[in-house]
Amino acid sequence: MSVQEYLDKHMLSRKIEDAVNAAVRAKTSDPVLFISNHMKKAVPSVITKVKARQILDSRGIPTVEVDLTTNKGMFRASAPSGDSSGMYEAVELRDGDKGLYLGNSVNRAVKNVNEKISEALIGMDPTLQSQIDQAMIDLDKTEKKGELGANAILAVPLYKHIADLSGKTNLTLPVPAFTVISGGKHAGNSLAIQEIMILPIGAIRFEEALQMGSETYQHLKVVITEKYGAHGCNIGENGGFAPDISSIKEGLDLVKEAINRTGYNEKIKIAIDVAATDFCIGDDLLMSNSKRIERAINQIGTVTETIEVVKLAKDAQWGVVTSHRCGETEDSFIADLSVGLATGQIKSGAPCRGEQLAKYNQLLRIEEELGDHAIYAGEDWRQ
């Protein structure tokens, strides 16, 4: 095959000419680099490798991390894990070998990624989310992802891409629900409820909301120290302070005093996560299983299914909270998810600890990138 025949077969002459014209229009000072990047973007993305490994989450318990390699680069994501799982929620696949991480190792889930999921995804376009999710659903065939494990499926690797997938045009920065006092399973005190949170709905921008949350958290530390001593400022798994209290009112009074000291009284609302187990609450009844929401009118496994759940909930005029788990990683995906789906709220623990701040800091970056187009949900978080 001659050079000309090769150029004609792959339409290289036209592609190179388009790249050169684009470089001229851009008046770039480095045309070679510009042309190289331009042509790279023109090539369709293809998954070439999927590699999983076992890492540790914020509690020191194993979870799954995945490196997804395409012809354009390598992308990394990890799956969080929770302490409580509703009976209808997607299940994590753990090995159960008491000799390895007390039965919590995830070698089987890792093997499922490296052998079954990898084989199914190689050659696919990583931007075709619904096709990727369907391929994994077809592999598992169980409603709760018990065959492959939700921790294997969720770790496959943002806000604009998710917005495109869901048909959203209003990219909204969520109101952060900051954990400030921890109890229940997440702390060693006598407080029955899981956590007390603050929501800076009166902020103008997410950046201001983060500042309000941080300042209130720091004032609360002083308030607790004054009343209970420094030992009262030990923190729970989600970063909230865990003074040895048993009364919800006592905890709320501490938070109210901290808010008073910040001067943000009219701009911050208080919320609680009860995490009740003695009666049928919506969390365990519904989770993010769209079939059970239909029956009644937070993650069954894949991004596509999550998008369907959020649409269904919003159609029913429900509020939606994008939430972390108590066993977290430094992965910031849920920040992009909350903006792309315009959920209006995000719950990612206290404004401290790296695995929690990773989400809040990513929202700062997104707001900065959106610039004048950034909208903070504020008091309209349900819409």
Which pairing describes strands 344-347 and 175-176: parallel, antiparallel, or unpaired?
Answer: parallel
Distance, CA of 66 to CA of 258 (rounded, Å): 41
Distance, CA of 128 to CA of 132 (rounded, Å): 6
Distance, CA of 88 to CA of 283 (rounded, Å): 10
Do the beta carbons of residue 77 and residue 333 sit within 8 Å? yes
Do the beta carbons of residue 241 and residue 182 sit within 8 Å? yes
Contacts (Cβ under 8 Å, ≥6 apart) of 19: 34, 35, 38, 39, 42
Annotated binding site: 273, 283
Distance, CA of 245 to CA of 190 (rounded, Å): 6
Compute the Cα dihedral for 264, 179, 361, 338 and give only its sign.
Answer: negative
Please provide residue 148's backbone torsions phi and psi, each rounded to the nearest 5 degrees: -85, -30
DSSP 91: P
Annotated binding site for Mg(2+): 273, 283
